[in-house]
Chains A and B, each alone.
Chain A
Amino acid sequence: MSSKSDAKQEREIKIVGFLCNWCSYGGADTAGVCRFRQPTDLRIIRIPCTGRIDPLMIVKSLIQGADGVLVSGCHPNDCHYAVGNFYARRRMEVLKRFLPYMGFQSERFRYTWVSASEGQIWQQVVTDFSETIHRLGPNPGLHQTVDSAPAVSWF
């Protein structure tokens, strides 16, 4: 088990953040304007709405080696487009429960709701998620070759 500092020395941790334009992106901006100290691991991709999130974007990020994926949008009932995050909520919850089945650590993916005024909460969310990812260490990614694998019998 590598300690936090060891993991950091191996390579820089990179977290992909998909933030909705109307709430969480604004919330991150508020946190910045208020000069709250935040971890530097997050790379933000601005999306119009969490309803735009295709779960495949998250899977692709993890397969390509992102250490963590954070999706954040407006609180349910507060979506700028009224219902986008209701769709997103179902999709992301299914994905979160599905990831461990394929052998991914589901802790590397988190979805959350942060509004534009909640700079303080944004700071907590991003700090907490970043700490989780540091504890897990870098994403090892997929093995390119498999020498021996466990057998599963279902008959």
Chain B
Amino acid sequence: MDDKTNALREHVKGIFSNLELVLGWEPGYDPLHTRPFYVRTESDIDRLTANCLSVHNLTRYLAKSMNAVDPAADGRKIGVCVKGCDSRSLVALIQEKFVSRDRVYVIGLPCRGTLDARRIRALVPDPARIRSVNAEGDELVVETDQGISRFALDRAIARKCLQCRYPNPVIHDVLIGDPVTPRLKIDAENPSVAAVEALSLEDRLLFWENQLDRCIRCFACRNACPLCVCQNHCIMETRMPKWLTQYRNMNEKFMFHMIHALHLAGRCTECGECERVCPVGIPVALIKEKINAIIYEMLDYESGIDPEAVPPLLTFSPKETGI
């Protein structure tokens, strides 16, 4: 067990009597996964885990937990573990008043990058035989039945982490572990967006069509998104107005992703959950990253940084010059 997990457990033990529950992670069903975990009793604390496999953005569960306030909790707060990217989602939820800041106790965990299970499986010849994975410094150590192999960590971490600009939580009540140096500067160009933009217009269309053609409209990206807050009123499924049909063709698939992306314009915090949960490996977050880049360039705004700010497409300034 690593130091971070230990430190987290120690800290939660110390404050648990003041909290209603804590959202964290526990070991998952195989060595490549953890799963979200609700710490409800003192004895649950020893299952808490925080490592490079703690991929889930737990703020997704927060708005729901807030609505179901336990009357027995008598005003105790809800604890939530956040990485840098997760903390931005939390700020966005606070901005839009889905979560109230004084109801949450934010446990910040600086993050050196989360592992992408898909990329790890591609590294070793027999992924089913992996016994454990661990990040040691800049190396990934994979233990299989055959022995131990080491890879550069950058070959196994998620795309969003390779271009991470906020590894340290932007808001927190307590920080567990030392702050990490960001990989990219805040105003740096997004390298994956630049890679798509390097294509010609025709090729870009083909690239996206090829990617989105795989979409099976399972809506996992929408369900995992902490900021997709419409729940039963999502226009993907409403019949009035009828935006999408059940037909299985390119127009519908493309439109589905346009709806998701444009509803997150100026709100998406690039936590990458949509991309992680995609069962067919579409780089879904890449669409939203471009919109964020546009908004940063046009309105000098980044979502999920300032809890007091208003998302730019929900407000206006008469002074700015349009056409």
Q: B207 touches which one: A93, A100, A103 (CB < 8 A)?
A: A103
Segment 290-323 of B: residues with Cβ below 8 Å from A: 290-291, 294-295, 298-299, 312-313, 316-318, 320, 322-323
* Chain A residues packing against B (C-beta within 8 Å): 55-56, 59-60, 63-64, 76-77, 83, 86-87, 89-91, 93-95, 97-98, 100-105, 111-113, 141-146, 148-150, 152-155
27 A-B pairs in the complex with CB atoms less than 8 angstroms apart:
A56-B243, A59-B258, A59-B262, A86-B316, A86-B317, A89-B316, A89-B323, A90-B299, A90-B320, A91-B265, A91-B313, A95-B262, A97-B298, A98-B290, A98-B294, A100-B204, A103-B204, A104-B205, A142-B250, A142-B251, A143-B205, A146-B206, A148-B206, A149-B207, A149-B209, A150-B203, A155-B162
Q: With A63-B255, A90-B313 in contact, do A143 and B209 touch (Cβ < 8 Å)? A: yes
| Contact pick for B195, options A87, A98, A153, CB 8 Å | A153
Determine if A149 and B206 form an interchain contact, defined as CB atoms under 8 angstroms apart. Answer: yes
Q: Total interface residues on B, using CB and 8 Å? A: 49
Interchain nearest-CB distance for A81 vs B (Å):
12
Whether B201 is near chain A, meaning CB under 8 Å from some CB there, is: yes
Q: Are B201 and A59 in contact (CB under 8 A)?
A: no
A143 to B250, CA, bound (A): 7
User: 0/1 per residue, B258-288, Cβ < 8 Å to A?
Assistant: 1100100110000000000000000000010
Q: Give every chain A residue within 8 A of B250 (Cβ-Cβ).
A: 142-145
Report whether B318 and A76 are in contact in the complex, using a CB–CB cutoff of 8 Å: yes
A56 x B206 contact (CB < 8 A) = no
Task: Write the chain A residue with the least CB distance to B290.
Answer: A101
Q: List A contacts of B208 (CB < 8 A).
A: 102-103
Contact of B322 among A89, A148, A149, A152 (CB under 8 A): A89
Most chain A CB inside 10 Å of its own CB: which residue of B197, B262, B291: B262
Q: Are B210 and A149 in contact (CB under 8 A)?
A: yes
Knowing A56-B259, A113-B323 are in contact, say whether A101-B197 is a contact too (CB < 8 A): yes
Determine the chain B residues whose CB is within 8 A of the CB of A102 once the complex forms: 204-205, 208, 258, 287
Q: Which residues of the other chain, B, contact A55 by a CB distance below 8 angstroms?
A: 262, 265
Give the nearest-CB partner of B202 in chain A: A103
Given contacts A60-B243, A102-B208, A103-B206, contact A154 B192 (CB under 8 A): yes
Find chain B residues with CB under 8 A from A155 CB: 154-155, 159, 162
By beta carbon, the residue of chain A nearest B287 is A102
State whether B322 touches A93 (Cβ < 8 A): yes
